[in-house]
Chains A and B, each alone.
Chain A
């Protein structure tokens, strides 16, 4: 069974940092493009970042470029999102999701709240 489990969310002050993790199981992690998508409270979905299977290509939304860094460890079947210089508008549920032909499996999400 495919499972994606995010962790690392919580309350952080503006300007602070947080590192999210996504533990994958039930599939060959190293074969898939992995992604972060977020959803602010009561709002729609926003793509954040994608990383290719071997980390050769990494893409970011303009809203997070320069502040967020996506990485993966294929040996540990894990995806990461390092979030620095956090702002109130980064408050959201962060989902990790895998892509092959499409984005077919999503984790349950982890809530990040940026507030003083």
Chain B
């Protein structure tokens, strides 16, 4: 199975900060990586797919990059509504796997 390791697991930041979250895969997954945002009690929301393609309706302050084994989600200017937990997911091969999550909290 492909393991995904996100770092950091927890991030404390202020409104307006640029934040980056990294997702490392245990083997190459080309660009078959997605990023989700989840708020408490809600379903995950797709932000980025194919490593760098912004999902329709997602603000342009979100961006994704990477291929192979290392990927990054960046938020250019953190907004109050961005405080949430973020997950990466690989869809290269079954079983699909998720990273353990990165919780972004207000500093």
Select the residue from A50, A59, A102 with max chain B CB neighbours within 10 A.
A102
Binds A, one of B22-30, B69-77, B86-94: B86-94
* CB within 8 Å for A102 and B46 given contacts A44-B87, A44-B101: yes
State which residues 37-57 of B face A: CB under 8 Å. Answer: 38, 42-46, 49-50, 53, 55
How far, in whole Å, are A62 and B96 apart by their CA atoms in the complex?
A: 11
Instruction: Check if B43 sits within 8 Å of A103, measured CB to CB.
Output: no
Instruction: Check if B96 sits within 8 Å of A95, measured CB to CB.
Output: no
Instruction: Check if B98 sits within 8 Å of A46, measured CB to CB.
Output: yes
> Range of interface residues on chain A?
20 to 34
State which residues 52-107 of B face A: CB under 8 Å. Answer: 53, 55, 87, 89, 91, 94-101
Instruction: Check if A101 sits within 8 Å of B50, measured CB to CB.
Output: yes
Select the residue from B38, B43, B45, B100 with max chain A CB neighbours within 10 A.
B43
Query: Does residue A1 face the partner (Cβ distance < 8 Å to B)?
Result: no
Instruction: Check if A103 sits within 8 Å of B34, measured CB to CB.
Output: yes
How far, in whole Å, are A95 and B45 apart by their CA atoms in the complex?
A: 12
Query: Does residue A61 face the partner (Cβ distance < 8 Å to B)?
Result: yes
Question: What is the interface size of chain B, counting residues whose CB is below 8 A from a CB of the partner?
Answer: 23
How far, in whole Å, are A45 and B6 apart by their CA atoms in the complex?
A: 13
How far, in whole Å, are A45 and B87 apart by their CA atoms in the complex?
A: 8
How far, in whole Å, are A37 and B50 apart by their CA atoms in the complex?
A: 19
Instruction: Check if B34 sits within 8 Å of A59, measured CB to CB.
Output: no
Instruction: Check if B95 sits within 8 Å of A59, measured CB to CB.
Output: yes
How far, in whole Å, are A102 and B38 apart by their CA atoms in the complex?
A: 16
* CB within 8 Å for A107 and B96 given contacts A44-B101, A101-B50, A102-B34: no
Contact with B along A92-109 (1 / 0, CB 8 A): 000100010111101111
B interface, CB within 8 angstroms of A: 34, 36, 38, 42-46, 49-50, 53, 55, 87, 89, 91, 94-101
